[in-house]
Structure 1
Amino acid sequence: MIRKNQEFLTQMYALTDFAFIQFSFLLVWWIRFRSGWIPFSRPLPVETYAMWSFIYGGIAVLAGMMIALYSPKRKKRFADEFIKIIQVHCISIFVLLSLMFFVKEVNISRSYLALYMVTLVMFILVYRYILKSSLKYFRQKGYNRQFVLIVGAGSLGKRFFQNLKQYPELGYEVIGFLDDYQKWDVQEKLRYKPILGTVDDLPKVLEKELIDEVVLALPLDAHYKYAKIIALCEKAGVRTLIIPDFFDYLPARPYFDNFAGMPTINVRDIPLDMAANRLFKRLFDIAFSLFAIILTSPLLLLIWIGVKITSPGPAIFKQERVGLNRRTFMMYKFRSMKVMSPGTVDTGWTTENDPRRTRFGSFLRKTSLDELPQFFNVLSGDMSVVGPRPERPYFVEQFREEIPKYMVKHHVRPGITGYAQSNGLRGDTSIEERVNHDIFYIENWSLLFDIKIIFKTIRNGFVNKNAY
Structure 2
Amino acid sequence: MSKTGGFNRTLKVTVGVVDILIYHLSFVISFLIRYKGTIPTFNYSAYQSVLPYIMIAFLIINIFSGIYILYNKKFVDMFSISLISQVMMSFFIMAMTFFGRWFAFPRTIVFINLIVSTLLLTLWRFIILEFYLKKSGTSRVMIVGSMDSCREAVRNFKSSKTRQYKVTSVAFNNYYENIVNNIDNIDVFYLLDFHSIEEENKMLSYLTVNNKRVFLGTNFGNILRINNRIMNIDDESLIAISKFEIAPENDAIKRMIDIVISLIMLIVTSPIMLIAAILIKITSRGPIFYKQIRITKGQKEFEILKFRSMRIDAEELSGPVLAQAEDPRVTKVGKYLRSLRIDELPQLFNVLKGDMSLIGPRPERPYFVDQFKEQNPYYYLRHTVRAGITGYAQVYGKYSTDFNSKLKFDLLYIKDYSLMMDIQILFQTVKILFDKVSSKGLEEELTNEEIFEDINIYE
2:226 to 231, 255, 264: 255
Helix, strand or coil at the partner of 2:387: coil
Q: What is the alpha-carbon distance in structure 2 between the residues aligned to residue 124 and residue 415 of structure 1? A: 34
> Is 2:270 the partner of 1:293?
yes
- CA displacement at 1:144 relative to structure 2: 1.5
The residue that corresponds to 1:375 in the other structure is: 345
When residues 174 and 318 of structure 1 are mapped into structure 2, their CA distance, relative to the original with a 3 A threshold, is closer
Q: What is the alpha-carbon distance in structure 1 between the residues aligned to residue 214 and residue 188 of structure 2? A: 7
> Is 2:316 the partner of 1:350?
yes
CA contact (8 A) 1:145 1:172 kept: yes
Q: What is the alpha-carbon distance in structure 2 between the residues aligned to residue 374 and residue 330 of structure 1? A: 13
Superposed CA offset, 1:267-323 (max 9, x none): 86889x77887777776655555444312424525755899xx78xx8767554333
The residue that corresponds to 1:22 in the other structure is: 21
Moved more, 442-451 or 3-12: 3-12
The residue that corresponds to 1:220 in the other structure is: 197
Q: What is the alpha-carbon distance in structure 2 between the residues aligned to residue 179 and residue 373 of structure 1? A: 44
Normalised TM-score (structure 2): 0.51
1:232 to 187, 194, 209: 209
Percent sequence identity over aligned pairs: 14
- CA displacement at 1:332 relative to structure 2: 3.9
Q: What is the alpha-carbon distance in structure 2 between the residues aligned to residue 155 and residue 138 of structure 1? A: 33
Q: Which has the larger radius of gyration?
A: 1
Normalised TM-score (structure 1): 0.50
The residue that corresponds to 1:344 in the other structure is: none
The residue that corresponds to 2:452 in the other structure is: none
2:426 to 423, 428, 447: 447
Q: What is the alpha-carbon distance in structure 1 between the residues aligned to residue 110 and residue 208 of structure 2? A: 52
CA contact (8 A) 2:373 2:380 kept: no
> Is 2:295 the partner of 1:322?
yes
Larger relative contact order (C-alpha < 8 A, sep ≥ 6)? 2
Letter in 2 for 1:322: I
Letter in 2 for 1:42: F
The residue that corresponds to 1:188 in the other structure is: none
CA contact (8 A) 2:382 2:410 kept: no
Letter in 1 for 2:20: I
How many residue pairs align between the two structures?
A: 370
2:139 to 142, 146, 161: 146
Helix, strand or coil at the partner of 2:42: coil
The residue that corresponds to 1:171 in the other structure is: 164
2:387 to 413, 420, 431: 413
CA contact (8 A) 1:409 1:439 kept: no
> Is 2:371 the partner of 1:399?
yes
- CA displacement at 1:249 relative to structure 2: 1.4
When residues 72 and 389 of structure 1 are mapped into structure 2, their CA distance, relative to the original with a 3 A threshold, is closer
Q: What is the alpha-carbon distance in structure 1 between the residues aligned to residue 318 and residue 166 of structure 2? A: 50
When residues 23 and 260 of structure 1 are mapped into structure 2, their CA distance, relative to the original with a 3 A threshold, is same
Q: What is the alpha-carbon distance in structure 2 between the residues aligned to residue 242 and residue 353 of structure 1? A: 41
Letter in 2 for 1:447: L
- For 1:30-41, what aligned pairs fall within 5 Å after superposition? 30-32=29-31, 35-36=34-35
The residue that corresponds to 1:241 in the other structure is: 214
Q: What is the alpha-carbon distance in structure 2 between the residues aligned to residue 225 and residue 183 of structure 1? A: 8
The residue that corresponds to 1:359 in the other structure is: none
The residue that corresponds to 1:191 in the other structure is: none
Letter in 2 for 1:398: D
Q: What is the alpha-carbon distance in structure 2 between the residues aligned to residue 168 and residue 333 of structure 1? A: 32
Q: What is the alpha-carbon distance in structure 1 between the residues aligned to residue 251 and residue 434 of structure 2? A: 25
Q: What is the alpha-carbon distance in structure 2 between the residues aligned to residue 221 and residue 288 of structure 1? A: 53
Letter in 1 for 2:387: R
- For 1:89-108, what aligned pairs fall within 5 Å after superposition? none
Q: What is the alpha-carbon distance in structure 1 between the residues aligned to residue 265 and residue 356 of structure 2? A: 13
The residue that corresponds to 1:433 in the other structure is: 402
Superposed CA offset, 1:210-236 (max 9, x none): 875566776411355468636733xxx
When residues 441 and 221 of structure 1 are mapped into structure 2, their CA distance, relative to the original with a 3 A threshold, is closer
Superposed CA offset, 1:305-354 (max 9, x none): 899xx78xx8767554333443333334679769xxxxxxxxx9532699
Q: What is the alpha-carbon distance in structure 2 between the residues aligned to residue 333 and residue 157 of structure 1? A: 37
When residues 14 and 458 of structure 1 are mapped into structure 2, their CA distance, relative to the original with a 3 A threshold, is closer
Helix, strand or coil at the partner of 1:256: coil
- CA displacement at 1:455 relative to structure 2: 4.0
CA RMSD of aligned residues (A): 6.7
Letter in 2 for 1:330: E
Specify every segment of 5 or more residues in structure 2 that has no aligned partner in the other structure, as ranges.
Answer: 90-101, 233-237, 321-327, 414-421, 441-459
CA contact (8 A) 1:317 1:334 kept: yes
